[in-house]
Amino acid sequence: MPGTFHGINLASNALRAFQYGMDITGHNLSNVNTRGYTRQSIEFGANQPTTFWNGKQFALGQGASISSINRVRDQFLDARMLGAQGEMGRYESLASSIQQVEATFNEPGPNGIGAALDKFFNAFSGLASNPNAAGVRLEAQQAGQTLANRIRGTFQSLQEQQAVNKTQILQTIQEIDQLSNTIAAMNEEIRGFSASGGVPNDLMDQRDAAVESLGRLVNINTSPSSTGEVIVHFGGYPLVDSGGAHAIPSTFDETTFKLNDGTYDYPVRSGKLYGLFELSNKVTEYQTSLNTLANTLRTEVNTIHRSGLNPNGTTDIAFFTENAIPPQNGAIDFDLTALVKADVDNISTSVTGTAGDGGLALAISNLKGGSPLLGGKSYTRWYSDFIGGVGRDAATVADGLTTQSAVTQQVDAQRQSVVGVSIDEEMTQMLKFQKSYQAAAKVLSVFDQMTEDLIAMIR
């Protein structure tokens, strides 16, 4: 036979359980804006019944209490999100920088290298047609100067960009280490908590958010351990394991997309770090092209220019600066020679030395038509192919970012759909627990009344 106070106990258990339910709802509502927060759900379970004998055996329920508080999470979506974050990090770091890179070219328009090339060759065509006019000579000198300045200036901008890249790569490597440390520290706490039998939901949320941030920086894969920790690997290298965090190798080769710890190579395949490596390679590629352009102009123009005569009667003068012994330095020191800068009459225009002979200028102007050093293309064709390529690179990145944003949003939407807090839903829960609480309280007061009646009977 159950005790007299069985009902009071039962009702008070229910009250406590619903109180917890209300607490969890409150916790969910409070964290509606918390990044990385996973909504928690409370599970109730019926208490072990008590048995008694009354002619035969009966099981009498003892009410309810909470059986668990869970994080509502989907492992599959988490894994997809990690992959999406990697690509997102890659495109984000690429997109913002490559826009700056393409902007340094000032195309299309009159302020780019393309227009300067045209001006330069056209000026020599003018010089061929009017070789001893001071104004035309000045025009040729200025056109040469503008061309040299633009090629050199663009190259320098790219060089600055490259320096920024290097800094960013080093910073990213530091960030990776910081996040690894954070994750390892949280692992430690979670393990302690789990050992005492608890489930540290909020800690796990914070740790998972840190893992996701790490996934934005570099390609990682994760696996859970039996004690609730997460093991993080980067391309086979353990960043976080049960022994704690390990610093990522900081020796990098951005052309092969590899980090090296002295023994092994670890491939970088996504994340901000990958994006920065890619950008670095692109910028190097553009710089190489500008070097080709500068050196081709140097070699071709100077060879002809040296062979001719100028109004001062001198010969063997170079138009663009050059090293006496190849190789040439490329775009970095591309400029007019001091002689040509000092005096427009140092520009060679003639083969024979007579004032009206513009044959040499014509030969220089005709260089425009094509060069084996540019793969047989004309300067304009070569440059338009090049700038088209720069545009395509930037457009591909912009498209990639758009696509990847959509993918990430999609995955996020799916995950939010599982983990996110909905105010309306919590409101419903709140009403439910409120009503349940009221009902339990009512039950308690009825039992109380019954007990009262019993006592009054004795009196």
Question: Which residue, 11 or 77, is less far from other proteins as judged by CB?
Answer: 77
Q: Does 1 bind other proteins (CB under 8 A)?
A: no
Q: What residues between 422 and 441 interact with other proteins by CB under 8 A?
A: 422-425, 427-428, 431
Q: Tell the smallest beta-carbon distance from residue 98 to other proteins (Å).
A: 8
Burial of 423-442, coded b for 16+ CB within 10 Å and e otherwise, reads eeebeebbeebeebbeebee
For residues 187 and 208, what is the distance between their CA atoms, to the nearest angstrom?
10
Size of the site for other proteins (CB under 8 A): 70
In the list 2, 26, 153, 420, the residue contacting other proteins (rule: CB under 8 A) is 420
Q: Tell the smallest beta-carbon distance from residue 416 to other proteins (Å).
A: 4
Q: Tell the smallest beta-carbon distance from residue 274 to other proteins (Å).
A: 20
Q: Cα separations (Å) of 239 from 252, 261, 268? A: 16, 13, 14
Contact 420, 34 (CB under 8 A): no
Q: Does 166 bind other proteins (CB under 8 A)?
A: no
Q: Tell the smallest beta-carbon distance from residue 266 to other proteins (Å).
A: 32
Query: Which residue in 267, 249, 97, 85 sits closest to 180, CA to CA?
Result: 249
Q: Cα separations (Å) of 377 from 154, 198, 373? A: 22, 72, 9
Quickly count: other Cβ atoms within 10 Å of residue 75's Cβ: 8
Q: Does 381 bind other proteins (CB under 8 A)?
A: yes
Q: Cα separations (Å) of 81 from 77, 258, 406? A: 6, 24, 12
Window contacting other proteins (CB under 8 A); options: 108-116, 156-164, 319-327, 330-338: 108-116
In the list 19, 416, 445, 449, the residue contacting other proteins (rule: CB under 8 A) is 416
Query: Pattern of binders to other proteins over 388-407, x per CB under 8 A?
Result: xxxxxxxx-xx---------
Q: Cα separations (Å) of 309 from 121, 252, 313, 366? A: 19, 52, 6, 18
Q: Does 212 bind other proteins (CB under 8 A)?
A: no
Helix (H/G/I), strand (E/B), else coil: 47 = coil
Q: Does 105 bind other proteins (CB under 8 A)?
A: yes
Question: Which residue, 242 or 402, is less far from other proteins as judged by CB?
Answer: 402
Instruction: Give the contacts of 390 (CB within 8 A, at least 6 positions apart).
Output: 101, 102, 105, 286
Query: Pattern of binders to other proteins over 109-138, x per CB under 8 A?
Result: ---x-xx-xxx-xx--xx-xxx-xx-----
Q: Does 27 bind other proteins (CB under 8 A)?
A: no
Instruction: Give the contacts of 255 (CB within 8 A, at least 6 positions apart).
Output: 281, 284
Q: Does 80 bind other proteins (CB under 8 A)?
A: no
Q: Does 195 bind other proteins (CB under 8 A)?
A: no
Q: Does 43 bind other proteins (CB under 8 A)?
A: no
In the list 221, 384, 432, 441, the residue contacting other proteins (rule: CB under 8 A) is 384
Query: Pattern of binders to other proteins over 347-376, x per CB under 8 A?
Result: ---x-x-xxxxx---x--xx-xx-------
Q: Cα separations (Å) of 204 from 111, 183, 187? A: 55, 10, 8
Instruction: Give the contacts of 236 (CB within 8 A, at least 6 positions apart).
Output: 264, 266
Quickly count: other Cβ atoms within 10 Å of residue 326's Cβ: 9
Q: Does 102 bind other proteins (CB under 8 A)?
A: yes
The DSSP code for 453 is: H
Give me the residues that bind other proteins (CB under 8 A), please: 32-33, 39, 98-99, 102-103, 105, 107-108, 112, 114-115, 117-119, 121-122, 125-126, 128-130, 132-133, 350, 352, 354-358, 362, 365-366, 368-369, 380-381, 383-385, 387-395, 397-398, 409, 412-414, 416-425, 427-428, 431
